[in-house]
A = this chain, B = another copy of it.
């Protein structure tokens, strides 16, 4: 057994079962060690951003980390933006970075880079292996660090020569993760006090409060005290649809978000950060809840949201589940597609238990508005604003939940960041339907200019915000990467093609021309 074996066996003993990788020479001992350990399945991404995005999607559904295996500093750099998204989602990820041999590092060979500095921008835990026999202990610590609290990124750098060094047959250690911090009892009491008030309040939810037991408890509390459930714009994982408590997503634009929050006499936060504006728009607020009364944070994003919900439910005598609304999808849409019609078609077609990745920048919001009327499903949103994660998130989600259909509602602008993902979807035969909202523009930037009265801008603005010419032929691109597809222009065609795509196994891409 060498140190590479010890790293992988320790990770496997701690529950790791997948390794998203794009390895190079310095990671080959780890690749060969994977040959000897069928318990961890390797999945190749053609660009590191696919690997890191997939690991984020996997852990958001599976609740435990995957490995990401990256090639020195440049491989880490390529995967950094989606690790940033994962950091914002508080997703547990264990990043393994191969590096030059210890004795070669000082030669400053071409691929040498400051790995610590790059990793430091996203990692809550970082270490470099300096003695092969420490490989097991450090891996156990890394997995525990990734899983501790509400989750985060642990990065372990493994020099090439040390990976190959023999290590003794010591027992494999697994370290238990630290639980999230307990909520402050004073804050819980204050929250209960607020929620008992007569005026209409809101629960602002994130993290564990948006799915499973957490969402059920939130629904009970809301029912008991007449509160509205809200959630972060960029939530990590939300369960919604028929039979589930309705959760309203905070709007993206600040005037809408502020107006929504201002409509509630009190706001109690559980598992979420205090909401801030996505950008600092002139004359608009930065922090929506600053300086107002009736705001209590029962549990911050690093605290135990489930414990907070249980305490509040008990305090308020909230024992009755919110039965949710029955399946009541929007009317069947007809004619040329737009965002609202697309949302209606999807809400009607979505099978129970599906996972939706609504990462289309402008066209996912109409779906958010009707998603609670669809069959019950899970959603994974973009948490860190680094666009282009959707097709990779979908890979991870599909691998975490075989048997559940994944639908990636993607934009053309953001989808073009992650073309490489389609190849992995094809190779792994994943049940992913991608709907590309093809409006041939970074439409969000046009909206920004309209808001500031500067639309449409001049030739440079057009050159930097229009995605045609040439219009991307998504069906060609997908086919070239192994994914069949079709182009649709009407709601009827979308409904028809989507039905087939959701029924057939394997990946499919629909270019929805908007």
Q: Enumerate chain A interface residues (CB-CB to B < 8 A).
A: 21-26, 28, 31-32, 34-36, 38, 42-44, 46-47, 49, 72-75, 77-78, 80-81, 84, 88, 100-101, 103-105, 107-111, 113-114, 117-118, 120-121, 160-161, 164, 234, 276-280, 282, 286-287, 383-386, 388, 413, 416-417, 419-420, 423, 426-427, 444-445, 448-449, 452, 454, 457-461, 463-465, 467, 469-470, 472-482
What residue of chain B has the Cβ atom nearest to residue A426's Cβ? B470
A42 to B457 CA separation, bound complex (whole angstroms): 14
Q: A28-B452, A46-B416, A477-B477 are in contact. List 17 more A-B contacts (CB 8 A).
A: A31-B465, A32-B458, A34-B461, A49-B78, A72-B385, A77-B84, A78-B81, A103-B286, A104-B286, A108-B276, A113-B121, A419-B420, A423-B470, A427-B470, A469-B482, A474-B480, A480-B480
- Tell me whether A25 and B104 are in contact (CB under 8 A): no
- Tell me whether A457 and B31 are in contact (CB under 8 A): yes
| Chain B residue contacts of A384, Cβ below 8 A | 74, 110-111
- Tell me whether A475 and B464 are in contact (CB under 8 A): no
> 16 interchain pairs (CB within 8 A)?
A28-B452, A31-B460, A31-B464, A36-B458, A47-B388, A77-B121, A77-B386, A104-B279, A104-B280, A107-B280, A117-B120, A118-B118, A419-B420, A470-B482, A473-B479, A473-B481
- Tell me whether B26 and A279 are in contact (CB under 8 A): yes
- Tell me whether A109 and B470 are in contact (CB under 8 A): no
| Chain B residue contacts of A472, Cβ below 8 A | 423, 480-482
- Tell me whether B475 and A31 are in contact (CB under 8 A): no
CB distance from A49 to the nearest CB of B (A): 7
A24 to B388 CA separation, bound complex (whole angstroms): 13
- Tell me whether A80 and B118 are in contact (CB under 8 A): yes
Number of copies of this chain in the oligomer?
A: 2
- Tell me whether A74 and B385 are in contact (CB under 8 A): yes
A77 to B53 CA separation, bound complex (whole angstroms): 14
A109 to B273 CA separation, bound complex (whole angstroms): 10
| Chain B residue contacts of A423, Cβ below 8 A | 416, 470, 472
| Chain B residue contacts of A113, Cβ below 8 A | 84, 121
A24 to B107 CA separation, bound complex (whole angstroms): 39
Partner of A35, one of B25, B47, B280, B457: B457
CB distance from A152 to the nearest CB of B (A): 15
Q: A31-B460, A417-B46, A445-B24 are in contact. Are A103 and B480 (CB under 8 A)?
A: no
Partner of A23, one of B110, B445, B480: B445
CB distance from A33 to the nearest CB of B (A): 8
| Chain B residue contacts of A386, Cβ below 8 A | 74, 77-78, 111
| Chain B residue contacts of A31, Cβ below 8 A | 445, 457, 460-461, 464-465
CB distance from A23 to the nearest CB of B (A): 6
| Chain B residue contacts of A161, Cβ below 8 A | 280, 282
Residue from the set A34, A448, A463 with the largest chain B CB neighbour count within 10 Å: A463
| Chain B residue contacts of A77, Cβ below 8 A | 77, 80-81, 84, 121, 386
A234 to B80 CA separation, bound complex (whole angstroms): 25
- Tell me whether B100 and A280 are in contact (CB under 8 A): yes
| Chain B residue contacts of A80, Cβ below 8 A | 74, 77-78, 80, 118
Partner of A481, one of B120, B383, B458, B477: B477
- Tell me whether A28 and B479 are in contact (CB under 8 A): no
What residue of chain B has the Cβ atom nearest to residue A80's Cβ? B77
Partner of A279, one of B100, B120, B426, B464: B100
CB-CB nearest 4 A-B residue pairs: A104-B280, A476-B480, A35-B458, A470-B482
| Chain B residue contacts of A465, Cβ below 8 A | 23, 31
| Chain B residue contacts of A105, Cβ below 8 A | 280
A448 to B282 CA separation, bound complex (whole angstroms): 56
| Chain B residue contacts of A457, Cβ below 8 A | 31-32, 35
CB distance from A261 to the nearest CB of B (A): 15
| Chain B residue contacts of A475, Cβ below 8 A | 480
- Tell me whether B114 and A121 are in contact (CB under 8 A): yes
What residue of chain B has the Cβ atom nearest to residue A447's Cβ? B25
Q: A49-B78, A276-B108, A419-B419 are in contact. Are A479 and B482 (CB under 8 A)?
A: no
Q: A78-B49, A110-B234 are in contact. Are A35 and B481 (CB under 8 A)?
A: no
A234 to B110 CA separation, bound complex (whole angstroms): 8
